[in-house]
Structure 1
Amino acid sequence: MKTVSSWSLHRTLGSGVPLLELPALLKLRGFDTVQLCHFHLPSREAGYLDELWQALAESGIALDALLIDDGDLTNPDDGEAHRDWISGWVEDATILGARRARVIAGRSAPDEETLRASAQGLARLARDHDGIRIVTENWLELTPGPREVLQLLDAAGGAVGLLIDTGNWVGETKYDDLAAVAARGETCHAKCHFGPAGGDLDDYRRSLETLRDNGFDGPLALVYDDDFVDEWSGLDIEHQVVSAVFGEAR
């Protein structure tokens, strides 16, 4: 399985390649699975969603997840409005045949109340949309470390899954932190940090090995998020490391 996030191709999509042409382009490049950022959809009209579903199906590209990159279930003033907005996108993800919808846990500082509120909000989305798996991510203010991630998942009682991003935690405890959540991960953003001298492949390899050795066995969506090489070259570099760690099937 060779998976990519559409964020990796943000510049390609912005340069004039329409999203409807992306599935065929991915197939030519050897990909068979994609995760789509919600803001890459130029329309939510029923006709367009049907066209996108057909483009994915005709190219044999599976939609692993729709990434809903906005909204705050823990917003103290407008949390219900945010939930309704997110719910609409989850419905679109279902129409597109996505296996998962990734929802931000929240933009509030983590404490018992906000983590419980997020877990309840995510679980409610899962109940309302039982045809798709709701997952959240180790990302932004509410989930800064494994303690908060695991507390939220436990509070949701199994109704919510986890998308792990290898690039969202840094510092001396990074690998221990990834190890702590690896077995709970259902899918992953396999992100390598690039710089003028190239990718930090030692960190990338160690991050992936940490996931592998601690029970992660889900899809690894390649994420290239820099401007130092072109997008396709960056993805090729990442895929070589992923294949070395997890096998050619990944």
Structure 2
Amino acid sequence: MNPNADSTAKSLHSWSLFRTLGRYVAPGSMPLGQLPEGGGGGLSLLDLPAELARHGYDSVQLCHFYLPSREVGYLGELRSAFDDAGVAVECLLIDEGDLADPVDGDQQRDWLSGWIDTAEQFGVDRVRVPAGKQPPGPDALRSSVERLVQLADRHPGTRIMIENWLAMMPDAASVNEILDRTAGRIGFLIDLGNWKGDGKYDELAAVAARAESCQAKVSTDASGVIDEADYRRSLGVLRDAGYGGPLAMVYDGPDPDEWGKLDQAYGIVRSVYA
């Protein structure tokens, strides 16, 4: 976590703008089928930085599947667009891959390594990878830890993070197990909305002090109204643990007004972190 970062700076996770970006998923970016490839016709990725700046954003966590090209020339053009807009790319989110796959785990590791190469070419020094899509049994945990460390060895200049997300990370115990066993080699991005149920806040509190990045996801009802009480309590857990880094807001509810809902979320962020 950057101790000089401002948690009230305006930041978002680019998944929040999936509709704005035309539901675009680049060919070849989702080989395991996490999302259907295709889409398009919305805001282009090259135009995103200026639009983020127009809405007052300081930083973004960028999903890998939005990249229509991994060619060096395109990455340079996109990097210039973010630099010109004054919007930082906090990290590249690699939203596919399964390091714990019992058959193809090495292949998945190599695929993820290729995307970390892309992040490095793009000039982003932090990436989030999935710890695995298998339940956290002993073999799956061991495989995930081994391959995460191998990725860290291959990419010593890039901070690789995992998230409390997917089958490998159903609770605080599984997160702490992997972080303990990787002994500081791997960082932690906390998502405030991935865990559900009455025990959610205790689970978040058990890992919040280890977070160096955050996805501040809102929960909504069926019409898209933000659950403000839940959001305040989740943000409060993070604040009380001493987190002071960026809070990349996430909205993916049914109301299509993505920018408007994110502004509502930002008002709550500022209130909690004032």
TM-score normalised to the size of structure 2? 0.88
Q: Which amino acid in the other structure matches residue 138 of structure 2? A: E
Q: Paired residue for 1:147?
A: 173
How far 1:197 sits from its partner (Å)?
Answer: 6.2
Tell me how far 1:106 sits from its aligned partner. 0.3
**Distance in 2 between residues matched to 1:97 and 1:71, nearest whole Å:** 22
The 2-side partners of 1:197 and 1:57 are apart by 33
Is contact 1:23–1:61 with CA below 8 Å preserved after alignment? Answer: yes
Note the alpha carbon deviations across 1:152-181, whole angstroms, 9 max, x for none. 000111000111111100111100000000
Query: Normalization by structure 1: what TM-score?
Result: 0.96
Q: Distance in 2 between matches of 1:54 and 1:233?
A: 27
Corresponding residue SS for 2:20: helix
Quote the Cα distance in structure 2 between the aligned partners of 1:99 and 1:242.
26
Give 1:124 shift.
1.4
Q: State the match for 2:76 in structure 1.
A: 50
Fraction of identical pairs, as percent:
51
Q: Deviations over 1:11-61 (max 9, x none)?
A: 111142100010011011110101111111111111111111111111111
Q: Is the counterpart of residue 135 in structure 1 residue 161 in structure 2?
A: yes
Gaps of 5+ in 2: 1-8, 23-40
CA distance in 2: counterparts of 1:163 and 1:178, whole angstroms = 12
Matched, 1:201 2:228: yes
Higher relative contact order (CA 8 A, sep 6+): 2
Aligned to 1:30: 56
Instruction: Check whether the contact 1:182–1:214 (CA below 8 A) recurs between aligned residues.
Output: yes
1:222 partner SS: strand
Code of the aligned partner of 1:225? D
Amino acid at match of 1:241: I
**1:174 alignment partner, one of 190, 200, 204:** 200
Would you say 1:84 and 2:129 are equivalent positions? no
| 1:125 match: secondary structure | helix
SS at match of 2:128: strand
1:16 paired residue number: 42
1:228 correspondence with 2:255? yes
Indicate if the aligned counterparts of 1:194 and 1:228 stay in contact, CA closer than 8 A: no
Residue-pair matches, total: 247
Measured after TM superposition, the shift of residue 215 of structure 1 is: 2.6
8 Å CA contact retained: 2:12, 2:61: yes
Q: Structure 1 regions of 5+ residues with no counterpart?
A: none
- Which of 9, 13, 16 does residue 5 from structure 1 map onto? 13
